[in-house]
Amino acid sequence: MHPDIPLGSVIQGSLTQGLEVRLHPDVSVEDMRVGKFLVVQGMRSRFFCLLTDVSLGTASDRLLADPPAASDSLMREVLSGSSTYGNIELAPMLMFTPTEGETSHNGSHHDQNGNGLASYQAQSSAELQLQPVKTIPAHFSQVYEACEGDFRAVFGWEDDPHRRNFAIGQPLDMEVPICIDLDRFVERSNGVFGKSGTGKSFLTRLLISGIIRKQAAVNLMFDMHSEYGWEAVSEGKQWSTVKGLRQLFPGQVEIYTLDPDSTKRRGVRDAQELYLSYDQIEIEDIRLVSYELSLSEASLDNANILLSEFGKSWIIQLLNMTNEEINEFCQEKQGHQGSIMALQRKLMRLDGLKYMRSTCPHNYIDQVLQSLDAGKHVVIEFGSQSNLLSYMLATNMITRRIHASYVKKAERFLQTKNPCDRPCHLVITIEEAHRFLDSKIVHQTIFGTIAREMRKYFVTLLIVDQRPSGIDNEVMSQVGTRITCLLNDEKDIDAIFTGVSGGQNLRSVLAKLDSKQQALVLGHAVPMPVVIRTRAYDQKFYAEIGTTDWEGLSDRDVFAAAELAKADLGF
């Protein structure tokens, strides 16, 4: 289809329900796919729309009662376009109205070169005033295929000097980059959703690579399955690996490991060990994993009694107490012996975590903070310690302390107003996010606090999950940008559109995505919802996104990068 040939005419519609378009006789309904980006040229305004449904219509019910024979191709051609036709439904998302003094197209969709909004193109997409849709085009307004100029006008371009745009993919039917605004992306907490096997981890690596490349924020990634740091297994019939963030950005990404033996076995270079101690565990950390430990409220209440008596060393004291000592303690402090003994027995499971120590002479969390303050991006690998108890405990402990540090920094910045005191924005990536953001515990976890605070303290979340319905509705309503791969469960689809105006029109779009390398992007970082074919994570991407700046790298990083380059070249 040529972008300057109209596809159909608007025949009816409303602002709330969308537009119904009758396709022209020469346009095949099979070329219309849900999620397609189309443009309606009204008398004064251009409307940017998303195709949400495709249907067939007939002028008379008699045709349905006596359809032409399958072999009668001539009759089908005669009926096509008059007695039988195709309809599409469009959801208008944005509109552009030229102001006085700007050149008018006089109803024409494109300029003489077929460039859509080329006559309005400015040096920055920020200068093009796209408005929310508050009206609809008139009857019989023509509908066109979106061209490159339209995509650039709406989604910008990656080399825009005034914005940190990052190309996340392309439309389903064009070779045009679709960009997200990274400054707006990191302003709020965001989510990557999709059922298992749809490529959430690859998409997350794309986003984090863009943040690193464009220097939009620093990242702290809790790598539950060791997929972000050094390398990961690619999806496909043939087994192969893809580069992790450390390989792409050797001087900017640091890897910390909670399981040094597993990290070494996988050949990860220069990973730093990270240990936690019992005296760093707080009651709130225990409460978060109470389900995994099968702890009752009575046991948690008695934990507060132990904390009051022994201070930060309460867990060590409890684990070393005999039954007689517990009995004496309960008589003196009015504790419940059965609850304390159950607490002692269940906390012994923590001894099986390789990263737990009685005491640590070195504060490893402070070391992570120093890396973040220096502008380094940190990946924390769990190795074999990736069960839910281990993951939730370590992630919560580390995040609580880092968030407390950022609160102090933000308060100091608000007091001094000195740009030098402004903290570098931090994006924390967590997987299995519904475990932390379930409505039963979300108000008790640090992640619920961060999601509700938005950018108040310069910390936001990037949540990666296959069950968005398990996330509290209040938290979902605060998720700024949602990048969603295929979902089948109706509850999960409903959750994606929590707090989204016009979400019902987009349900069919999400339900019709392919299972691989397709996603619906909507929210704060894009001007309008769009279905994309996600950018490939391959050698071409490595060359486009990876660092080539050798200045400032340590000798160790230069050597590691040189070894990687030699390996890629086959030496």
Beta bridge pairs of residue 256:
272, 380
Tokens of 379: 């990946």
**Residue-level pLDDT, tens digit, the chain, 571 residues:** 566 789 999 999 999 889 999 999 888 888 888 888 899 999 988 999 999 899 988 877 777 666 777 776 766 666 676 778 889 999 999 998 876 555 444 344 554 344 455 444 443 444 567 888 889 999 999 999 988 888 888 888 888 888 899 999 998 888 889 999 999 999 999 999 998 888 888 899 999 999 999 999 999 999 888 888 888 877 666 677 888 889 899 889 999 999 988 888 888 878 899 999 998 888 888 888 888 888 888 888 888 988 988 888 889 998 898 888 888 888 888 888 888 899 989 999 888 888 888 888 888 999 999 999 999 999 999 888 878 888 889 998 999 999 999 999 999 998 888 888 888 899 999 988 888 888 887 877 888 888 887 678 899 999 999 999 999 888 888 888 999 999 888 899 888 988 777 677 788 888 888 888 889 999 899 988 889 999 888 888 888 886 544 344 445 554 544 444 444 434 3
Question: pTM of the prediction?
Answer: 0.84
Helix, strand, coil tally for the chain in percent (to 5): 40, 20, 40
Tokens of 101: 């003094």
∠ CA 367-372-377, nearest 5°, is 110
Q: What are phi and psi of 221, to 5 degrees?
A: -115, 120
Helix ranges (DSSP H) in 10-85: 61-65, 73-79
| Cα–Cα distance, 236 to 461 (Å, whole number) | 29
| Cα–Cα distance, 384 to 386 (Å, whole number) | 6
Q: Strands (DSSP E) along 135-250, which ranges? A: 142-145, 165-170, 178-181, 190-193, 218-223, 231-233, 241-243
Nearest residue to 264 (alpha-carbon basis) of 353, 381, 148: 381
| Cα–Cα distance, 179 to 348 (Å, whole number) | 49
Beta bridge pairs of residue 520:
484, 531
3-state secondary structure of 457: coil
| Cα–Cα distance, 475 to 434 (Å, whole number) | 10
Q: Strands (DSSP E) along 204-247, which ranges? A: 218-223, 231-233, 241-243
Count other C-beta atoms under 10 Å from residue 286's C-beta.
Answer: 21
Tokens of 200: 């959430």
How many Å separate Cα 479 from the centre of its chain? 9
| Cα–Cα distance, 69 to 478 (Å, whole number) | 55
Beta bridge pairs of residue 91:
50
Output the pLDDT for position 217: 93
Report the b/e string of 491-504 with b at 16+ CB within 10 A.
ebbbbbbbebebbe
C-beta separation of 144 from 39 below 8 A: yes
Tokens of 247: 């390989």
Residue 151 amino acid letter = F
3-state secondary structure of 192: strand
